[in-house]
Amino acid sequence: GAVVSQHPSWVICKSGTSVKIECRSLDFQATTMFWYRQFPKQSLMLMATSNEGSKATYEQGVEKDKFLINHASLTLSTLTVTSAHPEDSSFYICSASLGETQYFGPGTRLLVL
């Protein structure tokens, strides 16, 4: 139980385009989901906390207009990277809370050319 999926697992896009990443809790409902970014050989950096039915809470330094988060249902949160640039290339990981435990998705590798 407690499975979180992400789609796509890999995405390559041109600079200036937008990319949407989906995060789904498959067998439980999650009021709260989190979006992280991970740089090579580093720990996860929290980007934002996504609450179902309300606006996301962004961490300091994260541009909310560039990283759009929507949590429209208890099983789905989406992260849209708008007008992507090469510096946005990274590994993006979501998690969903079940009680005190966060369950993580498999991650999405984004490469912006």
Partner 1 sequence: AQSVTQLDSHVSVSEGTPVLLRCNYSSSYSPSLFWYVQHPNKGLQLLLKYTSAATLVKGINGFEAEFKKSETSFHLTKPSAHMSDAAEYFCVMNSGGYQKVTFGIGTKLQVIP
Residues that bind partner 1 (CB under 8 A): 2, 4, 6, 31-32, 34, 42-44, 46, 49, 91, 93, 95, 97, 100-107, 109
DSSP codes, the chain: ---EEEE-SEEEE-TT--EEEEEEESSS--SEEEEEEE-TTS-EEEEEEEETTS--EEPTT--TTTEEEEEEETTEEEEEE-S--GGG-EEEEEEEEETTEEEE---EEEEE-
CB of 26 to partner 1, least distance (A): 13
CB of 16 to partner 1, least distance (A): 26
Judged by beta carbon, residue 34 or residue 67, the one nearer partner 1 is 34
- 26 in Cβ contact with 6 (< 8 Å): no
Judged by beta carbon, residue 25 or residue 105, the one nearer partner 1 is 105
CB of 2 to partner 1, least distance (A): 8
CB of 62 to partner 1, least distance (A): 13
Judged by beta carbon, residue 16 or residue 106, the one nearer partner 1 is 106
- 15 in Cβ contact with 113 (< 8 Å): yes
Judged by beta carbon, residue 81 or residue 92, the one nearer partner 1 is 92
